[in-house]
């Protein structure tokens, strides 16, 4: 099922033509209307008239999070505020949050792009969609809300929190699709179990999760516990919000709406493009945004492009699951790892609950990581031997699959903090 | 159907078009709107090869048509209705139309000409009434219809119109645009260059906004029509025109 089949299955040559046209008009617009870009382009000796193909994108300057912060709040808007009908902000995960804006037309485009993601994840006009993202400045809730309305689904603007009530609504309103962060979905799933509710008695069919990194193992857990088909979707406020990319039901990479976003993957050190298919930092240029266009925005998110065609028929290229942010990368004794990789190992080990935290300390010159993970009830805390076996298994798996040596501590159920929005998996004591 | 890639053109050292890209898909009306002097006519002249581009390419059905003579472009199915109509004033309406059928003769489709003429008369009944009148005696609106009719006689798959509303009264403009939409509905693709942005966007599928030789915005016609910045810049004038 497609939401905008013509665009989602477009011939690649046609797509490139469209991208070039849209890039040209975006560059002309920002050069005319945003002093920041005018200055930046001039400094680099770049004139939009010099662009002759998409390959010239590399001649353009990058835009960084710091540029957004320096131009706070409205400095990078390309349309006058009177045309702006909505303002949102980033979540503030990495510091002070930044502001973005939308024209009426941007909202329409956004709704359609989220419509694509929802449709790709199974949602139709017949579904009852419970939006359990926090409503507010965060783009997640309103983005999914408008998209779900656009496809004609019945939208429950639930917001996050009050988990028992979420479940009651889910039962009473016969929710068929859950939209939230994967970590919050897990909390909902656990709470359902605790309340002794049979997941079979719910009407849930689809889970559309995003806004934070998660692993395939977590997906499987969620699918089993909630009896749903779960897909991953990705976006960031700076270029729009959710709707940038989303998985189809083949669950193998997220189709990027390349007719609206031009994506590059670069080596964050050298800033040069990596080879097609290699992992690097994603850089995004918006092609249709009016109020808040972005030229070569450095997302700090690590992923790779998947050039192979997808059996679903979409020609839009896929990106792999985001491994994490460059900011979140842990360097444990010289090995780079992401919390999501640790998560994948933990979840595949029998005897643990899907709740964990990683504590980083500095011991001398070395970073030291301790993984705290909740033991499931089956492990009795008085059985020291069993505990030790479990810890050894996890350590061994970490060593063989990720190449890292970490301390592992089993903690009792429910001792690790739960999250209703984006989970905070890493506690970094080095900065304290 | 038509793909313009990085087209630059101008007159001598004067650059009018700067690396402009656009495309037209089969069955669409695509409109290019822009103020006077934005480069609209230059664009059409360059696309049809009347003016040589300094860089870039124009692909019509996959073939670069800048490298072939203008009459060959018509033969391949791409006709231009130039700005200011340019009908042959001293010739009767019918003869003017038959001139347009010249490529049909070259294609060896002489026997279809009568049918084509009928079709044009069907679209523009007033031309049938004036069939034997000299074109010079027609009103401005009728001359525009004649110019369009003549282009249709070549059986184009893509028809390009340069400001068909120019100098015409609002009611006539309405008629002409109605007919352009009909031409599209009958299967002919249309590239419409217009200063009368509102009327053009109303019938178009997609649009491009041209400013000083550059595209600054593109999108679905309905979205452009609803865009308040566009309204302010390009639609205000038409509003007054419609109210007159
Ligand atoms: N499906 C996903 N998988 C992994 N990470 C995701 C996914 N979707 C979103 N993200 C993360 O969320 C970010 C976008 O969130 P948002 O714009 O709300 O602000 P933030 O990045 O959390 O906070 P701030 O930019 O203020 O530090 C992305 O850059 C990415 O790091
Ligand atoms: Mg961010
Ligand atoms: Zn797919």
Q: In this predicted model, what pLDDT tens digit does every residue of A323-341 receive, in sequence order?
A: 999 988 888 877 888 999 9
pTM above 0.90, yes or no: yes
Q: Is A260 on the interface with B (CB under 8 A)?
A: no
pLDDT for res A222: 97
As a whole number, the mean pLDDT across chain B is 91
Question: Are A51 and A354 contacting, i.e. CB atoms less than 8 angstroms apart?
Answer: no
pLDDT at B119: 95
pLDDT per position as a tens digit, B61-114: 999 988 888 888 899 999 999 988 789 999 999 999 999 999 998 888 889 999
Q: How far is A260 from chain B (nearest CA, A)?
A: 11
pLDDT at residue number A233: 98
Phi and psi at residue B192, in whole multiples of 5°?
-120, 120
Q: What pLDDT shows up at residue A205?
A: 98
- C-alpha dist (Å) from residue B114 to A389, B105, B117, B119: 93, 12, 5, 9
Q: Mean pLDDT per 10-residue run, chain A (432 residues)? A: 97 96 96 96 92 92 96 96 96 93 97 98 98 97 98 98 97 98 96 96 98 95 97 98 98 98 97 96 98 98 96 98 91 85 91 91 81 83 83 93 90 92 90 58
For residue range B158-192, what is the model confidence (pLDDT) as tens digits?
A: 999 999 999 899 999 999 999 999 999 999 999 99
Confidence label for B227 from pLDDT (cuts 50, 70 and 90):
confident
Rounded Cα distance between B3 and B28, Å, is 13
Instruction: Report whether pLDDT(B242) > 50.
Output: no
Helix-helix angle A384-397:A339-348, to 10 degrees: 130
How many whole angstroms separate alpha carbon A293 and alpha carbon A289?
Answer: 5
Is any atom of ligand 1 closer than 6 Å to the C-beta of A91? yes
Residue A381 has a pLDDT of: 65
d(CA B38, CA B16): 8
Secondary element (H or E) of residue A55: none
Long-range pairs, A329-337, Cβ under 8 A, ≥24: A329/A302, A330/A358, A330/A360, A330/A367, A330/A369, A330/A426, A331/A367, A332/A367, A332/A368, A332/A369, A332/A404, A332/A405, A332/A406, A333/A366, A333/A367, A333/A404, A333/A405, A335/A402, A335/A403, A335/A404, A337/A402, A337/A404
pLDDT of residue B26: 96
The predicted pLDDT at position A432 comes to 53
Kindly give the residue spans of alpha helices, DSSP state H, lying in A34-93: 35-44, 65-70
The neighbour count for residue A380, using CB atoms within 10 Å, is 10
Cis preceding linkage at A73, omega within 30? yes
Task: Please identify which residue in the block is written with the tokens 């080095």.
Answer: A430
Run of H or E residues at B171 = helix B170-185
Residue B193 and residue B20: Cα distance in Å, rounded?
Answer: 15
What confidence score (pLDDT) does residue B238 get?
46
Mean pLDDT score, B120-129? 96
A301 pocket-lining for ligand 1 (C-beta < 6 Å)? yes
* Ligand with the closest atom to the CA of A100: 1
Provide the 8-state DSSP code for A128: E
- The 10s digit of each residue's pLDDT in B188-218 is 999 999 999 999 999 999 999 999 999 999 9
Residue B241 has pLDDT above 50, yes or no: no
| Residue nearest atom 4 of ligand 1, based on CA coordinates | A213
The per-residue pLDDT for B157 is 96
Query: Burial level of A392, CB count in 10 A (0-12/13-18/19+)?
Result: exposed
Tokens matching residue B143: 């001359």
Tell me the CA distances in angstroms from B45 to B40, B58, B68, B73, B80, one per residue in order. Answer: 9, 12, 14, 12, 9
Considering CB atoms only, which of A48, A52, A105 is closest to B6? A52
User: What average pLDDT does the structure give for chain A?
Assistant: 94
Which residues, 6+ apart, have CB-to-CB distance to A306 below 8 Å? A252, A253, A277, A317, A318, A319, A320
Q: Which two tokens stand for residue B121?
A: 């008369």
Beta strands in chain B (DSSP E): 2-11, 14-24, 29-34, 55-60, 63-64, 78-81, 158-162, 189-194, 206-211, 214-220
Q: How far is CA A371 from the centre of its chain?
A: 23
pLDDT exceeds cutoff 70 at B243? no
User: Which-ligand-closest: CA of A282?
Assistant: 1
Contact A270, A246 (CB under 8 A): no
A20:B5 CB<8 A:
yes
């Amino acid at each position: 099922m497609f939401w905008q089949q013509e665009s989602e299955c477009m011939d690649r040559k046609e797509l490139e033509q469209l991208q070039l046209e849209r890039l040209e008009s975006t560059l002309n617009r920002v050069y005319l209307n945003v002093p920041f870009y005018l200055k930046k382009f001039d400094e680099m000796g770049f004139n939009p008239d010099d662009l002759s193909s998409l390959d010239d994108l590399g001649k353009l300057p990058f835009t960084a999070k710091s540029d957004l912060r320096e131009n706070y709040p409205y400095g990078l808007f390309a349309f006058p505020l009177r045309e702006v009908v909505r303002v949102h902000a980033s979540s503030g995960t990495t510091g002070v949050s930044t502001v973005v804006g939308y024209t009426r037309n941007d909202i329409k485009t956004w709704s359609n792009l989220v419509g694509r993601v929802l449709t790709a994840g199974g949602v139709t006009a017949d579904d009852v969609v419970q939006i359990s993202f926090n409503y507010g400045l965060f783009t997640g809730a309103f983005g999914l809300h408008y998209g779900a309305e656009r496809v004609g689904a019945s939208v429950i603007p639930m917001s996050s929190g009050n988990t028992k009530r979420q479940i009651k609504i889910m039962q009473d309103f016969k929710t068929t699709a859950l939209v939230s962060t994967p970590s919050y979905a897990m909390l909902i799933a656990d709470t359902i179990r605790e309340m002794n509710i049979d997941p079979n008695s719910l009407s849930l069919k689809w889970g559309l999760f995003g806004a934070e990194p998660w692993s395939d193992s977590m997906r499987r857990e969620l699918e089993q516990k909630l009896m749903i088909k779960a897909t991953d979707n990705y976006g960031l406020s700076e270029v729009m919000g959710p709707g940038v990319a989303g998985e189809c039901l083949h669950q193998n990479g997220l189709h990027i709406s390349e007719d609206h976003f031009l994506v590059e993957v670069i080596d964050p050190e050298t800033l040069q493009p990596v080879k097609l298919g290699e992992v690097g930092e994603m850089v995004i240029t918006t092609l249709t945004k009016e109020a808040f266009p972005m030229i070569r925005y450095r997302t700090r998110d690590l992923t790779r492009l998947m050039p192979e065609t997808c059996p679903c028929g979409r020609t839009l290229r896929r990106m792999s699951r985001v491994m994490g942010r460059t900011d979140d990368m842990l360097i444990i004794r010289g090995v780079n790892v992401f919390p999501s990789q640790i998560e994948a190992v933990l979840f595949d080990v029998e005897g643990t609950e899907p709740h964990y935290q990683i504590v980083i300390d500095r011991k001398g010159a070395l970073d030291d990581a301790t993984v705290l993970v909740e033991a499931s009830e089956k492990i009795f805390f008085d059985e020291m031997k069993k505990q030790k076996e479990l810890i050894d298994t996890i350590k061994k798996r970490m060593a063989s699959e990720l190449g890292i040596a970490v301390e592992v501590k089993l903690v009792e159920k429910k001792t690790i903090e739960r999250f209703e929005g984006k989970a905070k998996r890493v506690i970094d004591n080095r900065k304290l | 159907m038509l793909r313009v890639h990085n087209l630059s053109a101008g007159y001598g050292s004067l650059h009018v078009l700067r690396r402009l890209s656009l495309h037209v898909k089969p069955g669409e009306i695509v409109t290019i709107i822009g103020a006077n002097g934005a480069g609209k006519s230059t664009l059409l002249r360059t696309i049809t090869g009347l003016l040589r581009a300094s860089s870039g390419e124009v692909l019509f059905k996959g073939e670069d048509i800048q490298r072939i003579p203008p009459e060959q472009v018509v033969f391949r199915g791409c006709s231009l209705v130039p700005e200011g109509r340019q009908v042959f004033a001293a010739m009767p309406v019918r003869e003017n139309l038959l001139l347009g059928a010249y490529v049909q003769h070259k294609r060896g489709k002489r026997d279809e000409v009568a049918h084509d003429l009928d079709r044009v008369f069907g679209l523009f009944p007033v031309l049938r009434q004036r069939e034997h009148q000299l074109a010079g005696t027609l009103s401005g609106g009728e001359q525009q219809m004649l110019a369009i009719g003549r282009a249709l006689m070549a059986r184009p798959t893509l028809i390009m119109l340069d400001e068909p509303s120019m100098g015409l009264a609002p009611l006539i403009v309405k008629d002409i645009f109605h007919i352009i939409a009909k031409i599209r509905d009958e299967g002919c693709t249309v590239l419409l260059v217009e200063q009368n942005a509102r009327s053009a966007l109303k019938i178009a599928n997609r649009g491009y906004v041209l400013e000083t030789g550059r595209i600054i915005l593109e999108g679905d016609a309905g979205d452009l029509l609803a865009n308040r910045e566009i309204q302010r810049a390009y639609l205000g004038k038409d509003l007054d025109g419609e109210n007159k």
